[in-house]
Amino acid sequence: MNNYSRDPPSKILLLVITQLSPTFPLCNDLLFEQFAKYGDIKKILIFERGKANKAFVEYYDVKHALEARKDKLGKYLAEGEGKLTIHFSRLKNLDLEVVDKSRGTDYTQASSTNSDTMKHSNTDDPNVLRQQIESFTRTFTQTSQRNLTPARNDEINNLLNSDSDDDIDIWKQQKQQGPQISQDVQNMITQKPSKIIKVTSIDDRVTAKMLYNIFNKFGNVEELLYEKQMQRVFVRYQTIEFAQIAKEYLNNIQFFDQQWRISYHPLQQLQPTTISDEYMIYYNPNGPKLIVPLSKTIILSGVIEAMEISEMMRLVAKVTEIKIVAADSLEITMMNISETLKIIAVFSDYEYKNQKLIISIK
């Protein structure tokens, strides 16, 4: 299956639906049922161009669109019905002022109330799909047509036609002449796992030691190259599995007012290229004993002066509650996970009055 899309990732997917019988009850709710398991959906718009049915599915988050495309590309809506070709759309937002033979639904409210249920439903089961289709056949009513001026019709038709098959042909011709998207974006789309991850958008206040403290929480870090001028870091883990765990937990996380973007990086020798680069090799054969998801609450062990440590924590992060749980242990709750990362970055293996502090996530 060809995983290339003609455009960079976006929150809006363009579905090209072929091999669909005239009696198949294609509707917005059917698409919502199948695509909501990947994330909250904002809007869906079905329209028709030539022999193919097409639809836009707009998510709130681009990563949900990426997951949906990766899983649904080349599959069918139902057994032998509705083969899916999926592209990232060029539209910036989805306008539900629909043209003739088009129908749109705003799921802004439905996403917040129904998304969790949808995400855990097995909508690829043929029996479940058959029940859904039968239900939609009984209840489906097409959205009433709106009275549109000729000028508005032309405007919307031009908008929809910007995602036409002609553009796909043009894109294929351009692709033969040279790459149309950056390697970073292509890595995001293909997501081929590697021992090395690349993290971008690193805040200037962050040090290499802070980065090591965070990433080593998710597996054995063997090498770290911090290119401070480029605001990025390369982290080589001992195994691909450790890299996958770190990417899963830390991608898109907010740290010191910057949102991290993490992608896999091809295996290669990590080498500093400027005087400001920081490169370190680590030897940690045992690795962390337990890898757990991030939480707003941590347990701090090895505490001698509880009051002094508490004040130090409040200087670094936004702390909402501190409890003494043992003679040398504190339970500290932060405002959010981003604040937890600050504590991990600054205080992991920190020595205070000759006593090493140990942080564990609750």
Cα separation, 7 vs 304, whole angstroms: 56
Residue 144 has a pLDDT of 38
Cα separation, 89 vs 12, whole angstroms: 5
Could you give the 3-state DSSP secondary structure of residue 288?
A: coil
Distance from the Cα of residue 10 to its chain's centroid: 11
Query: How many other CB atoms are there within 10 angstroms of residue 1's CB atom?
Result: 5
pTM above the 0.85 mark? Answer: no
According to DSSP, the residues that pair with 324 across neighbouring strands are 330
Residues in CB range of 253: below 8 A, 6 or more apart: 259, 260, 294, 337, 338, 341
Residue 182 has a pLDDT of 56
- Under-70 pLDDT residues of the chain: 1-7, 48-51, 95-103, 109-191, 284-290
Burial class of residue 251 in the structure, from the number of CB atoms within 10 Å of its CB (0-12 exposed, 13-18 middle, 19+ buried): middle
Q: CA torsion sign, 21 to 23 to 24 to 26?
A: positive
Written as one string, the DSSP assignment of 134-154 is: HHHHHH--PPPPP---HHHHH
Cα separation, 201 vs 244, whole angstroms: 19
Cα–Cα nearest to 255, from 361, 349, 343, 359: 343
Q: CA torsion sign, 292 to 296 to 297 to 300?
A: positive
The bridge status of strand 103-106 relative to strand 221-227 is unpaired
